[in-house]
Every structure is written in structure tokens, then in C-alpha cells.
Structure 1
Amino acid sequence: MKSKFDKAVYNFLIEAFKPVCTISIKFSDGRTRKKVPLTKENGQTLLVPLFRDQDNIAGKITIEPRQGKRIEHNGVKVELLGQIEMYFDRGNFYDFTSLVRELDCPGDINERTTYPFEFSMVEMRYESYNGVNVRLRYVLKVTVCRNYGGSIVEYTNFMVHKYSPPPTINTSIKMEVGIEDCLHIEFEYNKSKYHLKDVIIGKIYFIHVKIKVKSMDIEIRRRESTVSGATTHVETETLAKFELMDGAPIRGESIPVRLFLSPYDLTPTHHNINNKFNVKYYLNLVLVDEEGLRYFKQHQITMYRLPLQDF
């Protein structure tokens, strides 16, 4: 049983470590703007506002001191940050966008105070991304600057999507798999560039078959390459696996391919993002014979996001 002294110490510590104020950040169009899920580091998913390049980002920041507290500060500011974090260098962020608005000059905050803010036509060059070894994020960071007791900082996340019009040139994909005197198969896909809700349509032709093929699958693979100094880390994920055939084909047979992309967690292809990472997608065809031998053939595809898929 705790003594009165122990309870007093406990209550004192609780009171001492309470934040001296609460900071809330609200977007001016928060009720109407589309929200998308964002997975945090602890695995928790929350809905955050979705923006696009050149959008205005505006709202209000409210700082409310704890009852009976007065906050002496050296200024209040809000920053809009675009950051890249490598998971093998966790905690170190590389800023590719950094905008600042000064909200208040040095002084005291004695009561609930609200500051409007606005960042007009913000250039957001890259899309938000959460990968295996890297994440690209956008945040609003509010700082109450203080000399003693440490500055008070609050963050809020938002997402950015980048959009592309349909490509004017979109060539088909033709591939061959051949094993001398044993196997000759041709693959044809209707195009090489797909939007995130697209359908992959194609056909597989068996021209020469002398091995006993047991099954055939098509896979969508994502390859993430991150660069740190002279070291490149590569991670490959299989995001989708679709069975095309179960059983032995015969010469002259053809199999249609129709794979819907909308159920899968895809992002646009990312090319050399701030010299830090790349994200590429591949169609991978896998054949398995009755002896368990596996044969592979893959081709890179380009993924892009259409504006109508979000707004």
C-alpha cells in the first residue's frame, strides 16, 4: 500500500511531465478534402488529407497553455517539410522541401491563441511513398521556440499524389521463352504502361512443347533500390500472383491473360527520387514442370496515376 508521501511524489511527477500546452493543427478545407490511409511506424493506420502539386495548404494552429501556465517563447513558426528517410539510417531525414512561416514574435502565451497560416501553390515534386527501406513524407511542423525546458514541437502528416496523363506512345510487350528442342513459348501484352486501376490483357502461345509443364503463374513484382553513399540496397516484393494454367499445355494452344490491377497495393514508378531511391515494376512469368524445375521470364512495366483515380 502506497504511503501519502509516495502518492505525493507520484502526483508531482505526473504533473511535472505533463506538456505545458497543447498544439492542434487544422486544415482550412479539412472537412471536404479527400483523406487517404497512412501507416505509421508503429503499424497504426490513420486518415490524412491528400494534396497534389501546386495546391494551397492553409489552416489554423491553436496553442492552448495548460491551466495556470504561462509560456515564454522566442517565437512561433510553422514549417512545411518534404523529407526522405532511409530505414537503415533511421532518424536522419533528408529535406528536399523546406518552407517556413513565422507566426509570432518572442513573447508570452497566457491563453488559447490561434494563428492562421498559408503556403500558396506549393511545389511538391514527389509522391508520398512508404517502402521496405525508405519513406518519403510530407509534414507540417509547429515549433514554439524556447531557451529553457526545450522547444515545444508538434507534427501533422499529409499525403501527396502525383498524376500523369495517359501516355501518347504505349507499345505492346512481346517476349519469348525458349529451351533448345524442348520449349518455345511467346508472350504478348497489350501495352507496357499501365495506370493503377488498369487491366493487363495479353495472350500466351505454346509453339513448341516437349517438357511436361505443370503450372504457370504471372506475378507483379516491385523492386525498390535505395542509395546510401556507394552502397545500393535492393528489395524485391511479389505484390500479386495469378495462376494462368494448371495442367500440361499442347502445341498450338493459346491462353488469354486478364489481370485487374485495382485490388493490389501499387504506386507509380519512381525514377531517381532526389538521388535517393527508385521504384520499378515487373511482370514475371513463372513456369513449373513436373520435376519441380522453374523457368522465369520478366519484363519491366511503367505504372502511373491518373487524376480521376483520386479526385
Structure 2
Amino acid sequence: MSFFGFGQSVEVDIVLNDAESRKRAEHKTEDGKKEKYFLFYDGETVSGKVSLALKNPNKRLEHQGIKIEFIGQIELYYDRGNHHEFVSLVKDLARPGEISQSQAFDFEFTHVEKPYESYTGQNVKLRYFLRATISRRLNDVVKEMDIVVHTLSTYPELNSSIKMEVGIEDCLHIEFEYNKSKYHLKDVIVGKIYFLLVRIKIKHMEIDIIKRETTGTGPNVYHENDTIAKYEIMDGAPVRGESIPIRLFLAGYELTPTMRDINKKFSVRYYLNLVLIDEEERRYFKQQEVVLWRKGDIVRKSMSHQAAIASQRFEGTTSLAEARTPSQLSDNNSRQ
């Protein structure tokens, strides 16, 4: 980034010490594109250099101080400009004075707490970034560099299966079962659908993965549902006593870990939506929340504290949604 004024300009750059060896991760930007950023985890040190390159070596650059910040912030799109910072660290690199030649300043943020995963959604963005600032009397010179943070979790101690019955009285009675209630992002959902009573002509059945993003509090709560995947599990009319297997691989979809009440600003939850469609195009569905979590590729001792925090987010009961269809189940004819 350059600053022009009084015959002098400066190029500011931020370079990490382990830039050549540090892993990069793809992350979606606000415009929907994917870009690669340096990947960090909770508790890792962030260190590097802030380089200042003067364009005119014969002229000096006056400044009111140079600093570097490490910031974690949440931005709600309906409240742009009002950033909510949950991590804010500052290192002063130079006192007010003059710069007569290009130079670099070392910085280090030791064992930085990064409690939440980076996230870009429909109505909210959670980002981490480094920001170098040269304070000037008129206009500051600012350079930012985003990084991506992933939250790693351990295997949940309790991971019971999901088994429920749903139906329409004297018309349809099915039982469905999923092998677990908590899945890591590369996991496989295994289950079965049992038809105990079939008196309506079902022609199609699918499972949808739905992401529900909730932002705001009180009267300013916004819900955004996004269907991540549709997985057909049956095409044709089932008969009583039939069993339909389910095997859904999660690795191919763009998923994030479940996020619950992040800094009291937003939540991201995932649901499996079982959908049945009859020959008259009426839809019957049952929605069930599942918890998604990120499994580390390599178990590292330095991750133990972060993993303990993340595992606590699995606590709490899973709410069960009642089966509904606009045409038939609004009369409370459903049963579980």
C-alpha cells in the first residue's frame, strides 16, 4: 500500500516468519469467491515482519508512531461499520519520528487466543487479521493481512444415535435412524428408513442438509436457511416392512463446524431434513439437528486447551422438530 504526500510515499508489507512452511486454507469471501489464506489454530504464536519501503530515498517520512495489531472481529451485514472485536492485541513498533530509509520491524504475538472459527455467511462475517498502521497527521498508512482460523475438536464422549418415528394417522408411519448425532466434517452419515405403515402413494424420498444461520438478538433476529445438499434415497413406491439404507458422505460439501451463540452475535446450525413426496406432489418432512465438528489431521499437544474448549460446545440437548407438510400435517395429524 502506498501513501503519497509531501513528495514521499511508502510501501507497507506484512510477512509472516513461517510463510514458506505454514499451511494455507481456502476460505470463501463476501462475493462468494474462494481464496487461500495462512491457516492458524487457537494458541499458536503469530510472528513476522512489517516492512517499510520508501519510494524516494532522498526524502524522509515523518510519522506519529508505527504499530501492528492482531484483531478478531465480527461484522453483521445489517450493521456495517459497527465492528465487534473479541480479540484486540497491539504492539508498538516505533515511536514518533522520521524514517530516512527502508527498514523492517519484527513483531510477535505469543500464544494468541483464537476462540472461534473464521466464517463468512449470508449476514455475518467473522475474521482475523493483522493490521499495520503508520500514524500521520493527515492520513494514516494502513496495511491489513487476513488469516484463517480453524477450531479443532476431540471425539465427543457421548454420541448417541438418532431414532424417531413420524407419521400421519392411519396413512403413513415410518421410523428413521441415524447412526450418530455428531459428525466430523469428513464423516459419513449412515442410517435406515423403515416403513411400518404405507397407505399413501410415495414416489420420492430425499435427505437435505440444511444450514441455518441466525444473527442478531431480540427483535433484530434474522434466520437464513441454505440447502447445502440434496441426496435422493428412494425413487418409487415403498411397501410396508421395507427398509431403505442411507449412506451420505459429507466430505464433498462446503460445511463448517456447528457454531452456537458465537460472542452472543450469531449461530450456525445444521439439520438433516427427511423429505417424502407423494404422487399428488404433497410434501412430508421431518427435521433433525445434528452437530458438526472439525477433526484435526494431526493430533498436536498444543491443541489440547483449544480442543477442551471446543468439546464443551457439544454440551446441551438437541431440539427435535415436528414433522410438517403444508397440505396435511397442519391439522396436527402427525405423530412421532
After TM superposition, the score normalised by the length of structure 1 is: 0.91
1:165-185 per-position Cα deviation (integer Å, ceiling 9, x unaligned): 001110100122211111001
Per the alignment, residue 76 of structure 1 pairs with: 66
Per the alignment, residue 191 of structure 2 pairs with: 202
- Amino acid of the structure 1 residue aligned with 2:60: R
Cα offset, 1:88, TM superposition:
1.2
Cα offset, 1:18, TM superposition:
10
Per the alignment, residue 85 of structure 1 pairs with: 75
Per the alignment, residue 205 of structure 2 pairs with: 216
Counterparts in 2 of 1:237 and 1:166: CA distance versus 1, 3 Å: same
1:144-203 per-position Cα deviation (integer Å, ceiling 9, x unaligned): 00112x111010000111111001110100122211111001000001000000000000
Match of 1:122 among 107, 112, 117: 112
Match of 1:107 among 97, 101, 107: 97
Contact 2:43-2:111 within 8 A present in 1 as well:
yes
- 2:289 is equivalent to residue 300 of structure 1: yes
Moved more, 43-52 or 77-86: 43-52
Match of 2:50 among 61, 64, 77: 61
| CA distance in 2: counterparts of 1:211 and 1:43, whole angstroms | 42
Contact 1:54-1:124 within 8 A present in 2 as well:
yes
- 2:248 is equivalent to residue 259 of structure 1: yes
Per the alignment, residue 4 of structure 1 pairs with: none
Percent identity reads 51
Counterparts in 2 of 1:132 and 1:113: CA distance versus 1, 3 Å: same
| CA distance in 1: counterparts of 2:49 and 2:179, whole angstroms | 49
Counterpart secondary structure, 1:32: coil
Per the alignment, residue 19 of structure 2 pairs with: 30
Cα offset, 1:40, TM superposition:
3.1
| CA distance in 2: counterparts of 1:307 and 1:27, whole angstroms | 23
1:108-150 per-position Cα deviation (integer Å, ceiling 9, x unaligned): 11221100100000011111111110010000000000112x1
Per the alignment, residue 6 of structure 1 pairs with: none
Cα offset, 1:16, TM superposition:
6.6
| CA distance in 1: counterparts of 2:201 and 2:15, whole angstroms | 63
| CA distance in 2: counterparts of 1:310 and 1:81, whole angstroms | 27
Per the alignment, residue 311 of structure 2 pairs with: none
Match of 2:147 among 142, 158, 169: 158
- 2:224 is equivalent to residue 249 of structure 1: no
Per the alignment, residue 10 of structure 1 pairs with: none
List alignment gaps of at least 5 residues for structure 1. Answer: 1-14
Counterparts in 2 of 1:17 and 1:210: CA distance versus 1, 3 Å: farther
Cα offset, 1:17, TM superposition:
11
Counterparts in 2 of 1:183 and 1:19: CA distance versus 1, 3 Å: farther
- 2:158 is equivalent to residue 183 of structure 1: no
Say how many residue pairs are matched: 297
1:40-80 per-position Cα deviation (integer Å, ceiling 9, x unaligned): 33445331100000000001110112225421001100000
Per the alignment, residue 127 of structure 2 pairs with: 137
| CA distance in 1: counterparts of 2:40 and 2:6, whole angstroms | 36
Counterparts in 2 of 1:146 and 1:310: CA distance versus 1, 3 Å: farther
Counterpart secondary structure, 1:307: coil
Counterpart secondary structure, 1:230: helix
List alignment gaps of at least 5 residues for structure 2. Answer: 301-336
| CA distance in 1: counterparts of 2:36 and 2:8, whole angstroms | 25
Per the alignment, residue 136 of structure 2 pairs with: 146
Structure 1 runs (4+) deviating above 6 angstroms are 15-19
| CA distance in 1: counterparts of 2:289 and 2:262, whole angstroms | 18
- Amino acid of the structure 1 residue aligned with 2:126: L
Cα offset, 1:38, TM superposition:
2.8
Contact 2:29-2:120 within 8 A present in 1 as well:
no
Cα offset, 1:259, TM superposition:
0.2
Counterpart secondary structure, 1:162: coil
- 2:167 is equivalent to residue 167 of structure 1: no
Counterparts in 2 of 1:43 and 1:240: CA distance versus 1, 3 Å: closer
Contact 1:20-1:69 within 8 A present in 2 as well:
no
| CA distance in 2: counterparts of 1:200 and 1:221, whole angstroms | 14
Match of 1:270 among 245, 251, 259: 259
